[in-house]
Amino acid sequence: MEFFNPTLIAAILSWAAAQSTKLIINAVKYRKFVPERIFGAGGMPSSHASTVSALTTVIYRLTGAESVEFALSLTLALVVMSDAAGVRRAAGLHAKELNRIRHIVAEFENNHPEEKNVEEIMEIQTLKEYLGHTPLEVICGAALGITIGFLVN
């Protein structure tokens, strides 16, 4: 029995291409290999946008623009991309600011050893800042996904 689902294959290939590209861009930009970038969120291009765009492109090519499947997929894609560039990006910016504040508190404690009320703050783990995407990262991810969607189907 042969299994070939172009929609699923396009989505998986698009995610893998985006994550690989993200890993390479990060390694070149920072001159350092960071394995977390293989599966981590955030960065250029958006793998979320790439995945849902590839999925939507193949569904469009298989079922047409008037199908229920395409309408569902396009709606999902728009929600995912909006969330990536909106809510998740804002959460990442908040995390960055909270980490900065935490660093200031740590410096204060080091310079004022008599103040020990901040010990609980220092036990909080550093928050993850790579969560969302800039609009450009989402657009590039979507372009990658659409391209792979057309190539697969």
Range name among 2-6, 46-50, 64-68, 115-119 with the lowest pLDDT average: 115-119
Q: Please count the other Cβ atoms lying within 10 Å of the Cβ belonging to residue 123.
A: 7
Q: What are the pLDDT digits (tens) for 129-146?
A: 666 778 899 999 999 999
* Contact (Cβ atoms closer than 8 angstroms) between residue 6 and residue 58: yes
Is this model's pTM higher than 0.95 or not? no
Q: Which residues contact 78 (CB under 8 A, 6 or more apart)?
A: none
Whose tokens are 């994550």? That residue is 19
Whose tokens are 């765009």? That residue is 53
Q: What are the pLDDT digits (tens) for 35-65?
A: 776 777 778 899 999 999 999 999 999 999 9
Q: Which two tokens stand for residue 8?
A: 């699923």
